[in-house]
Every structure is written in structure tokens, then in C-alpha cells.
Homo-oligomer: A and B are copies of this chain.
Amino acid sequence: MDNLKISAAEMQAIKAQMKAKGLRITPQRFAVYANLLHRDDHPTVEAILTEINCELPIASKASVYSALTVLREVGLVREVLLDEGVTRYDARITPHHHFICQNCGAIADLDWDALGELPIHRLPPGFQLEGYEVILKGKCDRC
């Protein structure tokens, strides 16, 4: 059912999270969410599809899109707009920033407290701030 080696306990925990959001547990949805939880490379739909179908076919592309849509709707995953033309997904929903390597394109998560509180001097009048995200660019450790 799944090419990840996860304990039964963790499997239950993941399912519990999904149930708590009112989602029906299907093998496809579980595979997508579990896969996303176990990687930190902000994969595209294509990449998720390849990994979960690696050993034996489990989900179609349409189902991956569908699973991601509901998972996003209930707030278990979010999409990241860091790449041209493709949407990438992330199951890490606690606030954090992103570092993009301009050499190899790698995307690294940056803990929220790696940056201090953002000093906002002046927001245009009438604007209400609800959140922010910083995108850092440069060279990663491997480049």
C-alpha cells in the first residue's frame, strides 16, 4: 500500500489527523499525505505520484490532485509558489520561511525563528496585516 516504512502507531496518528478534519480515509489520500509528511523537498504533483506509485500503482494523477485539494481545504497541506509553472506542496503547515538556491534550485525550509520579528515600519493606511512569509535567495551549502 505504501513504500514508506512507517510504524503502525504513526499510521494511526496520521489517520487520526485526517479523521479529525472530517476526511474519509482512502488508500490514495493516505499515501499522498503520508508521503508529503515524510519529505521536505516541497514536491510537485508529478513527484508525489512517482513516489507513491514506486512499488505498485496505487493512485492516478487525478486522485493525487483531488487528494491535495481536500488536504489543502482542511489545512493539512499547503502549496508553495516558489517555482515557475508548477505548484509545489508542503505538509509542514507551521509558519516558516523558504530559502531558494539560485544555483541548483533547491528549496530549503527555514525555521520561523531563524529570522527575528519582521520590523514593519509603515504599512499603507487601511491595510491589515494577517501574516507574512520571507523568501530568501542565494547559494545553498552544496553549491
Contact = CB atoms under 8 A, between A and B. Distances in A.
Interface residues of A, number: 41
Interface string A111-128: 001111111111111111
A134 B134 contact: yes
Tally of this chain's copies: 2
Interface centre among A119, A125, A127, A141 (most CB of B within 10 A): A127
Interface string A57-92: 000000000000000000000010111110100000
A133 B132 contact: no
Contacts of A126: 140-142
A44 to B, nearest CB: 13
Contacts of A99: 123-124, 127
A47 interface: no
Contacts of A114: 120-124
B117 A119 contact: yes
A108 interface: yes
8 contacts: A99-B127, A102-B130, A114-B120, A116-B121, A126-B140, A127-B138, A129-B138, A130-B139
Interface of A: 79, 81-85, 87, 99, 102, 108, 110, 113-142
